[in-house]
Amino acid sequence: MKQIAYTIFGLWMGLAGPATAGPVQISMELGDYRFKPARLEVSVGQEVELKLTNTDSITPHNFVLKAPEAGLDMTVDVPPGASKTVRFTPGKPGFFPFYCDKRLLFFKSHRERGMHGVLTVNAK
Ligand SMILES: [Cu+2]
C-alpha cells in the first residue's frame, strides 16, 4: 500500500514537474503621484513580468525606464483605472531609476512631485 502511495506521489511530481522557470511576476500601483512599491529588486538575466495598475480615477500615469545599456528601454502609458503588463529581462546589474513623466499644462511633472523609483538588478 505504501509502495502505491509513493508511486502515485512520484507520478504526480512527474506531471507537476519542478517549478517552471517563467518570469518573475511583480505588481505595482501607480497613483497619487507615487509608485507602490517604489523599489524593485530583480536578478540579471531573469525575465520580469511587471503589472502596472493605475489606481487614480482621472490622472494618467506612465512608467518610464531608460537604460538601453542594460537592455531596458520602455515607456508604458497607463490610463486611469487601467492595468498594463510589460515584460523585460535586465542584461546588466546596477541601479536603474524609473519615473512618470506626465505633466498637466504648466504644473510640475509627476516625477518632480515624487513619482519615481529605482530598479535594482543584482548580479547572479
Ligand atoms: Cu504620473
Domains of the chain, CATH where assigned = 21-122 (2.60.40.420)
Instruction: Calculate mean pLDDT across residues 39-47.
Output: 97
The whole-angstrom distance between residue 84's C-alpha and the CA centroid of its chain comes to 10
Per-residue confidence (pLDDT) for residue 15, from 0 to 100: 52
Instruction: Calculate mean pLDDT across residues 34-63.
Output: 98
Per-residue confidence (pLDDT) for residue 31, from 0 to 100: 98
Check: CB of residue 31 under 8 Å from CB of residue 110. no
Looking at residue 105, the DSSP 8-state letter turns out to be T
Alpha carbon of 65 to ligand 1 centroid (Å): 13
Model confidence at 4, pLDDT cuts 50, 70, 90, reads low
Per-residue confidence (pLDDT) for residue 124, from 0 to 100: 85
Check: CB of residue 96 under 8 Å from CB of residue 68. no
Which residues are 34's β-sheet partners?
Answer: 31
Tracing cell 515584460 back to the chain, one arrives at: 87
Alpha carbon of 124 to ligand 1 centroid (Å): 32
The rounded distance, in Å, linking the Cα atoms of 33 and 112 is 9
Alpha carbon of 98 to ligand 1 centroid (Å): 11
Model confidence at 19, pLDDT cuts 50, 70, 90, reads low
Looking at the chain, the whole-number percentage of residues with pLDDT higher than 70 is: 84
Residue type for position 117 = G
